[in-house]
Protein backbone atom coordinates (compact mmCIF):
# COMPACT_ATOMS: atom_id res chain seq x y z
CA UNK A 1 0.00 0.00 0.00
CA UNK A 2 1.03 3.56 -0.64
CA UNK A 3 -0.26 6.71 1.03
CA UNK A 4 -1.97 9.67 -0.56
CA UNK A 5 -3.26 13.02 0.59
CA UNK A 6 -4.75 16.03 -1.17
CA UNK A 7 -4.25 19.58 -0.04
CA UNK A 8 -8.02 20.12 -0.06
CA UNK A 9 -8.41 17.56 2.69
CA UNK A 10 -6.11 19.71 4.79
CA UNK A 11 -8.39 22.71 4.44
CA UNK A 12 -6.99 24.46 1.39
CA UNK A 13 -10.10 24.75 -0.76
CA UNK A 14 -9.27 25.38 -4.37
CA UNK A 15 -5.80 23.83 -4.26
CA UNK A 16 -5.49 20.87 -6.60
CA UNK A 17 -2.23 19.57 -5.21
CA UNK A 18 -1.97 16.04 -3.98
CA UNK A 19 0.88 13.70 -3.18
CA UNK A 20 1.48 9.98 -3.22
CA UNK A 21 4.26 8.20 -1.40
CA UNK A 22 5.19 4.74 -0.30
CA UNK A 23 6.00 5.92 3.18
CA UNK A 24 3.95 8.00 5.59
CA UNK A 25 6.94 10.06 6.73
CA UNK A 26 7.91 11.02 3.23
CA UNK A 27 4.33 12.04 2.47
CA UNK A 28 4.41 14.32 5.50
CA UNK A 29 7.62 15.89 4.17
CA UNK A 30 6.00 16.51 0.79
CA UNK A 31 3.05 18.20 2.49
CA UNK A 32 5.37 20.31 4.64
CA UNK A 33 7.32 21.50 1.60
CA UNK A 34 4.13 22.19 -0.39
CA UNK A 35 2.53 24.07 2.51
CA UNK A 36 5.61 26.20 2.86
CA UNK A 37 6.13 26.96 -0.84
CA UNK A 38 2.49 27.41 -1.84
CA UNK A 39 0.64 28.47 1.28
CA UNK A 40 3.36 30.32 3.16
CA UNK A 41 3.23 28.02 6.18
CA UNK A 42 6.72 28.25 7.64
CA UNK A 43 6.29 26.11 10.70
CA UNK A 44 4.91 22.70 10.13
CA UNK A 45 3.80 21.72 13.62
CA UNK A 46 3.34 18.37 15.29
CA UNK A 47 -0.43 18.93 15.15
CA UNK A 48 -0.26 19.44 11.40
CA UNK A 49 1.77 16.25 11.04
CA UNK A 50 -0.90 14.46 13.06
CA UNK A 51 -3.64 15.92 10.84
CA UNK A 52 -1.87 14.68 7.71
CA UNK A 53 -1.50 11.22 9.21
CA UNK A 54 -5.17 11.16 10.20
CA UNK A 55 -6.47 12.15 6.80
CA UNK A 56 -4.20 10.28 4.43
CA UNK A 57 -5.71 7.58 2.29
CA UNK A 58 -4.36 4.38 0.81
CA UNK A 59 -3.75 3.61 -2.82
CA UNK A 60 -2.22 0.52 -4.40
CA UNK A 61 1.55 0.75 -4.33
CA UNK A 62 2.02 0.02 -8.04
CA UNK A 63 0.76 3.42 -9.12
CA UNK A 64 2.77 5.34 -6.57
CA UNK A 65 6.43 5.08 -7.54
CA UNK A 66 6.18 7.13 -10.72
CA UNK A 67 4.48 10.03 -9.03
CA UNK A 68 7.08 10.65 -6.37
CA UNK A 69 8.79 13.89 -7.22
CA UNK A 70 12.53 14.08 -6.83
CA UNK A 71 13.49 16.51 -4.13
CA UNK A 72 16.73 18.35 -3.72
CA UNK A 73 18.32 19.44 -0.52
CA UNK A 74 20.62 22.28 0.41
CA UNK A 75 22.40 22.53 3.73
CA UNK A 76 23.70 25.85 4.91
CA UNK A 77 27.46 25.59 5.51
CA UNK A 78 27.21 28.17 8.30
CA UNK A 79 24.42 26.76 10.43
CA UNK A 80 22.10 23.80 10.72
CA UNK A 81 19.52 25.26 8.34
CA UNK A 82 18.44 23.12 5.42
CA UNK A 83 15.93 23.43 2.66
CA UNK A 84 14.09 20.94 0.50
CA UNK A 85 12.39 21.75 -2.78
CA UNK A 86 11.65 20.30 -6.16
CA UNK A 87 13.40 22.93 -8.25
CA UNK A 88 16.81 24.57 -8.03
CA UNK A 89 15.30 28.02 -8.37
CA UNK A 90 13.02 27.62 -5.37
CA UNK A 91 16.00 26.58 -3.30
CA UNK A 92 18.13 29.51 -4.48
CA UNK A 93 15.32 31.93 -3.56
CA UNK A 94 15.03 30.42 -0.12
CA UNK A 95 18.79 30.44 0.41
CA UNK A 96 18.89 34.12 -0.54
CA UNK A 97 16.24 34.88 2.09
CA UNK A 98 17.99 32.75 4.68
CA UNK A 99 21.37 34.35 3.94
CA UNK A 100 19.82 37.78 4.49
CA UNK A 101 17.86 36.92 7.63
CA UNK A 102 20.33 34.65 9.34
CA UNK A 103 23.75 35.72 8.10
CA UNK A 104 23.19 39.34 7.13
CA UNK A 105 24.20 38.82 3.54
CA UNK A 106 22.31 41.63 1.86
CA UNK A 107 23.50 41.13 -1.69
CA UNK A 108 22.86 37.65 -2.96
CA UNK A 109 24.74 37.56 -6.27
CA UNK A 110 24.17 35.41 -9.30
CA UNK A 111 27.48 33.66 -8.55
CA UNK A 112 26.22 32.76 -5.09
CA UNK A 113 23.11 31.31 -6.70
CA UNK A 114 25.27 29.19 -9.01
CA UNK A 115 27.29 28.01 -6.05
CA UNK A 116 24.13 26.96 -4.23
CA UNK A 117 22.98 25.00 -7.28
CA UNK A 118 26.28 23.17 -7.47
CA UNK A 119 25.96 22.11 -3.84
CA UNK A 120 22.51 20.58 -4.02
CA UNK A 121 22.15 16.95 -3.15
CA UNK A 122 19.34 14.69 -4.12
CA UNK A 123 17.27 14.18 -1.05
CA UNK A 124 16.57 10.69 0.12
CA UNK A 125 14.31 10.10 3.07
CA UNK A 126 15.50 8.13 6.02
CA UNK A 127 14.04 4.72 5.53
CA UNK A 128 13.23 2.66 8.53
CA UNK A 129 14.33 -0.91 8.31
CA UNK A 130 12.67 -3.38 10.55
CA UNK A 131 14.89 -5.55 12.68
CA UNK A 132 14.87 -8.95 11.04
CA UNK A 133 16.16 -10.94 13.96
CA UNK A 134 14.12 -11.98 16.93
CA UNK A 135 16.32 -10.50 19.59
CA UNK A 136 14.52 -10.25 22.89
CA UNK A 137 16.75 -7.99 24.89
ZN1 LIG B 1 -2.00 23.33 -1.51
ZN1 LIG C 1 22.61 29.42 7.73
Task: Give the model confidence (pLDDT) of 66-99 as tens digits.
Answer: 556 678 899 999 999 988 888 888 899 899 999 9
Q: Is 137 a domain residue?
A: no
Ligand 1 centroid to residue 66 C-alpha, Å: 20
Q: What is the DSSP letter of 7?
A: G
Q: Is 11 a domain residue?
A: yes
User: Which residues make Cβ contacts (< 8 Å) with residue 29, sequence separation at least 6?
Assistant: 71, 84, 125
Q: Is 128 a domain residue?
A: no
Full-model pTM: 0.53
16 and 31 fall within a common domain:
yes
Adjacent-strand bridge partners of 2: 59
9 and 57 fall within a common domain:
yes
Q: Please, are residues 79 and 21 in contact by the beta-carbon 8 Å criterion?
A: no
16-67 pLDDT tens trace: 999 888 889 889 999 999 999 889 998 889 999 999 999 999 988 755 455 5
For 35, the domain range is 2-67
- Domain termination residue (choose one: 23, 50, 67): 67
How far apart, in whole angstroms, are the C-alpha atoms of residue 51 and residue 88?
29
- Domain termination residue (choose one: 67, 83, 101): 67
Which-ligand-closest: CA of 104?
A: 2
Q: How far apart are the first and last CA of the chain?
A: 31
Ligand 2 centroid to residue 22 C-alpha, Å: 31
Ligand 1 centroid to residue 61 C-alpha, Å: 23
How far apart, in whole angstroms, are the C-alpha atoms of residue 56 and residue 51?
9
Phi, psi of 83 (to 5 degrees): -145, 135
Amino acid sequence: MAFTISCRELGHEGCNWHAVSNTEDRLVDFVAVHSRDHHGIRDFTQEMIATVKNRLGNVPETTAGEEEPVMKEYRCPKCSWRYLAQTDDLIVDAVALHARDAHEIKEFSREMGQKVKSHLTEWTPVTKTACGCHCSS
